[in-house]
Structure 1
Amino acid sequence: MARTRVRFASLLALSAALALVTGCGAEAGDGTASKDGTPGQGGGKPVVVVTTSWEGAFAKAAGAEDVKVIVPQSVHHAPDYDPKPSDLAAVGKADFVLYAPFEPYAAKIKEAAGSKAKLVEVNLDNDSGRARSEVARLGKLFGTETAAAQWTASFDAEYAKLAKDVRGAWPGGRSPAVVSQVFTTWSAELAGATQVGTYGPEAVTPAQLAELSGKKPALVLDNAHMTTGTVLPDSGAKQVEIVNYPGEDLDLLPVYRNAAAALKKAMGGS
């Protein structure tokens, strides 16, 4: 995810508009536990605002039911997004605001909204182990540990099934050599591929091009959200576009299913 310069000028004006809507966050949740032990405001389940659908999927997997996504899926690079008054209004009513390190405007959104929400940095990585860890951590924060554990059990079963299916499509029964963009290495792990190199998030330099092509990879696992076109032209490697972000349903499992299908197809499977 590109560390693009973010425009903050409009936030001050938007915060003034928010004051009329929410009283500058005077009714925002403070993250404290309700009577039933759930860290939501007003005795209910937690209200979670997330910057993108990726954080939203982690929140939903962890058991959050009231999740508001700020950045529309039509925005290719989340750090480019300019928040609207309605976004700030949502933040003002939240118990938790989830963001990623490469989205520096998240803190500015909270500040402009005057929210008392707990700001939570999320490690956006679809690596199976890290995903489990983040879901468990968020479940503990939200007070939804049971739901998080149930999701993890279903994830483990689905992941094992997908991994077995993809690995069954290895050409000649041998693990393929792959080059991965730094944010798609998780898909190489899913496929059981032999990772011979990585690149990004910056564009590949001529020196890297020569080095990575010399590894003779069968596949290049590119990041669909940051693609710069063909990464290793004339290398003979098939390029597979890997999507990290889930859809509007905030379901993380289809991300793995889609990656598995794309990898299997690239390896010659059906």
Structure 2
Amino acid sequence: MALRRGKRFARFGIGLAALIAGVSALTGCGSSDQPHHDGPNVVATSTWEAAFAEAAGATHVTVIVPPAIKHAPDYDPKPSDLAAVSQADYVLYAPFEGFATKIKDAAGSSAKVVAVNLDNSRDNVVKEVQRLGDMFGTRTAADKWLQTFGARYDQLAAQIKSAWRNGQPPKVVAQTFMGFAAQMSGAQVLGTYGPDQVTAKQVADLSAAKPELVFANEQMDTGTVLPGTTVRQLDLSNYPTSGNDLLTVYDDTATKISAALKG
């Protein structure tokens, strides 16, 4: 998900001094007026990290990048973002969101900056939620969520399998960050593309494989992946589709794939 981030990071570097100056006006009254919560205060750069944090049991989570912004590295942080970081115990970010550590440093925060492996594959979700639960001291809540996640995942995988045509797994082409969707659906992946623009040769090769579906990445829109074909393209999301609830990613993905197979 590294597209277009270079220019944004450069602009952020230029405006860093202004952000540092601006945050003083927002935090100058001190922390005494800030509400006290039990458990850690977590700042997440996007709703994706926030979803992992809440799955792990964090109940006080602030998101920096508004959900309306599809590609998080495009966001230009504001002084109010620094104010949020100044009150954080943990700042969660992904490596492709390089502005996250700059936010923490600019705010002078003592928060622990934690890189989250943003991969929605089942094994990674279990690993990351357990790791964050241990870190936050909320492992009991994390384990409870993981029980719900495991049951929901199995249910949705079965739902998709029941929609397989002639009892055969769908043959798909998947954007490189849509592996979790292929895994949950039991799809046969004929090829992958991205994160860069699809070349003419890739279009020819992927089309020749004769997939039934394309699993496209909504956050990294490249238009029609296989133009000139009748292959149905599904725009799927890695980010929560409602609030910071990671389960909505799987619900929405299963709904779209099942409907496409039945249709």
Q: Is the 8 A contact 2:185 2:254 kept in 1?
A: yes
* Corresponding residue number in structure 2 for 1:30: none
What aligned pairs does 1:123-202 form with structure 2 within 5 A after superposition?
123-202=117-196
Please, what is the CA RMSD of the aligned residues? 1.9
In structure 2, list runs of 5 or more residues that go unmatched.
none
When the two structures are superposed, what TM-score results if normalisation uses the length of structure 2?
A: 0.93
**Could you say which residue in structure 1 is the equivalent of 2:24?**
19
Q: State the one-letter code of the partner of 1:191.
A: S
Query: For 1:94, what is the secondary structure of its paired residue?
Result: coil
**Count of residues paired in the alignment:** 256
> 3-state SS of the aligned residue for 2:68?
coil
C-alpha displacement of 1:20: 3.4
Q: What SS does structure 2 have at the residue aligned with 1:233? A: coil
Per-residue deviation, 1:44: 2.9
Q: CA deviation digits over 1:12-56, x for unaligned, max 9?
A: 1111121233359x86xxxxxxxxxxxxxx783100000000000
Structure 2 distance, partners of 1:86, 1:92, is 10
Q: Secondary structure at the match of 1:120?
A: strand
Distance in 2 (CA, whole Å) between partners of 1:77 and 1:176 is 29
Show CA shifts across 1:187-227 (max 9, x none): 01111110111100001111111111111111100001111
Structure 1 length-normalised TM: 0.90
Instruction: Output aligned runs, 1:64-83, within 5 Å.
Output: 64-83=58-77
- Give the match for residue 2 of structure 2: 2
C-alpha distance in structure 2 between counterparts of 1:182 and 1:246, whole Å = 18
What is the distance in 1 between the residues matched to 2:110 and 2:49?
A: 19
Which aligned runs of 4 or more in structure 1 are off by greater than 2 angstroms? 19-24
Q: Which runs of 5+ in 1 are unaligned?
A: 28-41
SS at match of 1:225: helix
Aligned partners of 1:53 and 1:248 also within 8 Å = no
The one of 226, 232, 236 equivalent to 2:226 is: 232
- SS of the residue corresponding to residue 219 of structure 2 reads coil
Task: Tell me which residue corresponds to 1:120.
Answer: 114
Distance in 1 (CA, whole Å) between partners of 2:228 and 2:213 is 13
SS in 2 for 1:119: strand
* 256-265 or 7-16, which deviates more: 7-16
Question: Which structure shows the bigger proportion of residues in helix conformation?
Answer: 2
What percentage of aligned pairs have identical amino acids? 52
